[in-house]
Each structure stands twice: as structure tokens, then as C-alpha cells.
Structure 1
Amino acid sequence: MKQRILFIVNPISGGLNKISIPTLIDENLDLDKFDAEIIYTDFPHHAKQLASEGLAQNFDIVAAVGGDGTINEVADVLESSGKIMAIVPCGSGNGLARTLGVPLNTAKAIARINNLNFTAIDVGLLNDKKFFNMAGMGFDAHISAHFANSKKRGFFGYLKSTLKEVSSYRPQHYKIHIGDKKLSVDAFMLSLANSSQYGNNAHISPTASLKDGLLDICIIKPFPLKVFPILGWRMFSKTAHKSKYVDIIKANDFSVLRQTDGPVHVDGEPLNMGETLNVSVKKLALNIII
């Protein structure tokens, strides 16, 4: 019997035109193996609703065609379901796709599904919100909120927002509780890494693993502004963990207390949360094609 696959397409992710998606599916998906349906999102968080409907209709595979936000919405529904997820990356950073080795070329990403080569990966939780690539607070959450309101998408839009905001942003104080261990730190940002990178091959924690049942707590300590380009270079050269301004702790269940409520991000999508943030991991809970 053929596998039933639902493609959920975000038509505006990454500022890329998706008009060719149906043709690319016809040309690159093995239609002797799969019965494919395509549906488009119409509004924010629609992908989650469509994925829930796909699960109820017993699709074998649900493919997210979009960026990390679209992937998060679909994965949120599919984790722990036993069904398989696929990614056709069309976002600004494509962090999870890059980590999994999914081709960034749309045709090749669709063709990769034909192999049905999948693995199980960990799922992070920040309070009640799931994340699959990266979550955090501090400067990266501030930029995610700023970027969400920007009309300019893609890597250069993100870079422009970062350069505009970095000189005025001030570090915050955090208390991190891991079992009986308590840390008190000032941090420019606090990143919770399930994979090693934010996206665009900017690796904040090169040793992070999607399959170890742990998150990497990346503490980026306050630094002189002149060091910012060097930290950027370190991320792209996979040496951020060697900087004296970066501490990394691995844990699977911990809490973070900050001085006020405010912005966080889950897989790049900005949210507001309270002062106390509880973080945990569901090990190997999402089946995903690699």
C-alpha cells in the first residue's frame, strides 16, 4: 500500500515563492510509493491546526514546507504520535534542517523523502511550549521579536536587526537551578540548544546532540562590543564553546528564574513568559526524515 503524505506549505516563509511546490512534488516524489496532498497555511499558527487534522485523517507522514516556525507547529502535533515528519526547508535560518542534513534545495529535499530514512530526536519544553531546535531568552529573544515585525526576511534581514540592536541591549540576571545546583549569572543571552545551531550554520553549541536526552544551556556572558564580531566568527567556525565569554552546561530538567517577565523564543518564534521558566526534555519523541 502507498504511504499517505500531507504537505503543509507556508506560502510566505523565508520570503520565498512557493508557487512551484506542486510541480516539484510531482517531479521528485515517488508517486508509486506515496499518495500526496498539499495544503497551504492562511494565517499564523494555521500549520498546527492543519497538522492536527492530518493526524486525525491518519496520514502516515506530514511534511512541513517552511521555516523553523512552521516546522515547530507541525512537530508540536506529531511528537509522541508515532507518525513521521518530513522537512522541506524554506525559511530564513533552517537550523533544524541543516543539523539533520536535509538538503536546502527544495527538489532534493522532496526527493529525500522517497528513502523513508528517519530517526527519532529529542523534544525540548520551555514551560508548556515545545521546541525542536533552539529556545532562549535575552538578546536572541529580543531579536526574534524585533525580526518578527520586520518586513525584510532572510539572513540579511536578521543580520540587520542584530547589528541595529546589539549596542543598546543590556545583559540580564538569571538564576539557574539544576537539581541541587544553583547558579547566579549575568548573561547577554541564555540559549537552550537541542541542536547545535540557530540557523545559517551559526553554531552556538557545537557539541549539542538531538539524541542525547539533554539540552545545552549556553550562557553568553557580558562582553565588550568590540568582541561581538569575534563571537560571530566563532559561531560560524564552530568554536563558540572555546570562548571565555561562553559557558555551556548540559542538563535535562532545570529551571531559570529571571528578574522580570518578558520575551523568550521557541525555534525563533517570539513569545512572552513569566519570571520562572521550567525546562525539560522528552527523549527521542519525534520521528523525522533525515
Structure 2
Amino acid sequence: MKTQKTILLVINPIAGGTDKKPIIEAFKKHVSQNNDESIIYETTGKNDKKAIQDLITEKQPDRILISGGDGTIREVADAIKGESLKIGLLPSGSANGLATNFDIPDSLEKQLKIALGEHFIAMDLLEIDGFTCLHIADLGVNAQLIENYEKSEIRGKLGYLIQAFPTLINNDFPFEVKIECDDETCIEEGVLVAIANANKFGTGAKINPTGKMDDGIFEVLVFKNFSIKGILETFYDDVQLDPDFVKVIKCKEVSIHSKKPIAFQIDGEFMGEKQLIKAKMTDSKLTIAIPKSFNP
């Protein structure tokens, strides 16, 4: 009977532009205190999915901890599809949208306790144009901001802030889209169209207050204009978004068509300009360790 656990840490060494040595050292210390075995895999950007799968086959880890941004989590999620593995989050990316949605604290020590704890959510996973989506994808101004951020040399939230003003000023929005969602078809005009499994962007802005990450459906949100009042309200927990500011459609599958190519992003990663987006809820779940206080 196996008593010693094997904990695999998948860490992105360049995520967020920060030194990852303190995370590795704290991880090793925490795991050794429980007399468990620690394994560390540093991503390279080349064949990481297969390398992670090979490690899982060889080492049979009891849990996988992930240190990086949402892109690193997506990589692991794709690698473990079909497996019953549980994961924990040690967020170290630029925005960390998924961790923000689960109220993961900033303290590394607290993150480790949560990641190795016994409170979980079986989170839904979306598929958008063949890619896994964890929390939010969108067309429009936010995706344009992410594209501008990726082209800049300044990382972190400061980089997003610096790019926000030119992005808001220099754009061709609003744009028109045709949305075919389950049994509903509509034509809407807006500055941002989001496909949301979660509540918040990595900045903490709550754009989808009624969304739940384990209910088997997602929301399509059309933000109709640059409402300063509406944007500010997204930072409050009890937000009730004005229907004149945003239209919300709940569905399990959607097709979104734009007359012109529009900037598009998935989980904080710019995916190019798109005219047609297809998204659907999958049968897969991702079991994630969460704080005791989190209410899904």
C-alpha cells in the first residue's frame, strides 16, 4: 500500500517575469515536511504537453501543482484530460485570471496549503475553436489590449495599465456580431463580446456576476458601449449589470460571427483576429484545490 505521496510541480520559469527559485524552494520544503516525494518540471515552450504526460505515466503523481499563468494551467489541463488527477495553483503569471476567480491569496505559504489541501471544485472546461478555455475568452477591446500588451516590453499589471489608454483611444469599435446560441439567434453591436465560464478577469473586474464554473453552462456577454459607470461597477461584489450596458445569454454551445476580423483572446492569450468563433461546453472537468471559504 502506497503511503508516500508523489507531488509534481509544473512551473513556467518565465511567467510573469519573476524569479521562481523561492517558489521551488518553498514547494520542496512543504512537500518534504509531509515526507512526500517532490518532482519538478520546468516548461520550455516545446513539447511540454507530451513531456508532462510522460512524467505522469512514469511517476504516477498523486497531485499536480502548477506555477505560472493561465497558459501553463491550460497546458496541464490538456495533458491530463481523461485522468482523475487533482491540481493546485501557485499563480505566478501576469494576470492569473483563474486564480483570481478562486480567490487564491497572494501569500505563497497559504497557496501551498490550499494547493495541497482537500477542498476541491470540479470545474467545467470549454472548447473554443479547438482550444481549451478555462475562464474567459473575448472579442474586442480587451483582446486588443492583450495584443498591445504582448507587443510591449513592460510586464505585469503595470504593462496592462500603460497599454489601456492607447487601446481605448485607437480602435474601430463598436462592431456588429451575429450570435447563434442553442435555440437563440440575435444580432448585437458592442465593444466586447465575452465567452465566460468564470466571473472575473485577472484584474478582478467581475464581468459575469451570475456565472458559475461548475454548472455545465457558460455565458455570452455583449458589452454595448464604453460606460465608465458600468465598468466601475464590475469591481463590486454585489454588481447588477445594467441591461443597457451588457446583454447576457446562457448557453452550452455558440457561434459568433463578425462582419470584419476582430481581436480575439483566450484566458489572456492573444489568438489573432477572428471573424468566426465557435465555442462549446465539454464533458471534461478539471478538479482544482480551492480555499475553504470559496463559494462556487
Q: Which runs of 5+ in 2 are unaligned?
A: 291-296
Shift of 1:9: 1.1
The Cα of 1:134 is off from its aligned counterpart by: 0.9
Tell me which residue corresponds to 2:175.
172
Q: TM-score, normalised to structure 2's length?
A: 0.88
Partner secondary structure for residue 76 of structure 1: helix
Tell me which amino acid in the other structure corresponds to 1:280: K
Post-superposition CA distance 1:127-169 (Å, at most 9, x none): 2111111111111111122212222111121122122210121
Q: Hey, what's the Cα distance between the residues in 2 that align with 1:151 and 1:243?
A: 38
Structure 2 CA distance for partners of 1:102 and 1:34, relative to 1, 3 Å: farther
* Count of residues in correspondence between the two structures: 285
Structure-2 residue corresponding to 1:15: 17
Partner of 2:55: 54
Tell me: CA distance 1:106–1:48, structure 2 relative to 1, closer, same or farther (3 Å).
Answer: farther
> Which amino acid in the other structure matches residue 91 of structure 2?
P
Partner of 1:263: 263
Change (3 A) 1:261 1:66: same
Shift of 1:49: 4.1
Give the drift of 1:205: 0.8
CA distance in 1: counterparts of 2:138 and 2:159, whole angstroms? 20
C-alpha deviation, 1:76, in angstroms: 2.3
Aligned letter for 2:221?
C
- For the residue of structure 2 that corresponds to 1:26, the secondary structure is helix
How far does the alpha carbon of each residue in 1:230-256 deviate from its partner, in whole angstroms, 9 at most, with x for none?
A: 333112114262362111111111111
The residue that corresponds to 1:232 in the other structure is 231
Matches within 5 A, 1:1-290: 1-29=3-31, 31-32=33-34, 34-43=36-45, 47-57=48-58, 58-169=60-171, 170-223=173-226, 227-228=227-228, 230-238=229-237, 239=239, 241-242=241-242, 244-272=244-272, 274-283=274-283, 285-290=285-290
- Would the alpha carbon gap of residues 273 and 130 (structure 1) be closer, same or farther in structure 2, given more than 3 Å must change? farther
Once structures 1 and 2 are overlaid, which stretch shifts more, 277-286 or 202-211? 277-286
8 Å Cα contact 2:120/2:288 also seen in 1: yes
Kindly tell me: are residues 35 and 87 of structure 1, through their superposed partners in 2, closer, same or farther at Cα, counting changes over 3 Å? same
Distance 1:78 1:118 in 2: 17
Deviation at 1:33, TM superposition (A): 5.5
Which stretch shifts more, 121-130 or 3-12?
Answer: 3-12
Given residue 157 of structure 1, which amino acid in structure 2 is its aligned partner?
G
State the one-letter code of the partner of 1:173.
E
**Change over 3 Å in CA distance of 1:288–1:259 after alignment to 2:** same
| Post-superposition offset of 1:211 | 0.6
For the residue of structure 1 that corresponds to 2:118, the secondary structure is coil
Measure how far apart 1:31 and its partner are.
4.2
Q: Deviations over 1:22-72 (max 9, x none)?
A: 2211333364363111121233x6653443333333323222101122112
User: In structure 1, the residue corresponding to 2:169 is in which secondary structure?
Assistant: coil
- Structure 1 segments unaligned to the other structure (5+ residues): none
Tell me which moved more, 255-264 or 138-147: 255-264
Provide closer, same or farther for how the CA distance between residues 30 and 196 of structure 1 changes in structure 2, counting only shifts above 3 A.
farther
Distance 1:67 1:46 in 2: 18
After the TM superposition, which of the residue ranges 89-98 and 253-262 deviates more from structure 2?
Answer: 253-262
> Does the residue aligned with 2:88 lie in a helix, a strand or coil?
strand
SS of aligned partner of 2:65: strand
Q: 1:181 to 1:199 in 2, by over 3 A?
A: same
For residues 155-187 of structure 1, give each alpha carbon's deviation from its aligned partner in whole angstroms, at most 9, with x where no partner exists.
121122122210121222110002332110111
> Which position in structure 1 is the counterpart of 2:294?
none
1:48 to 1:163, Cα distance in 2 relative to 1, 3 A: farther
The offset of 1:94, in angstroms, is 1.8
Q: 1:241 to 1:268 in 2, by over 3 A?
A: same
For 2:236 and 2:283, the matched residues in 1 are separated by 28
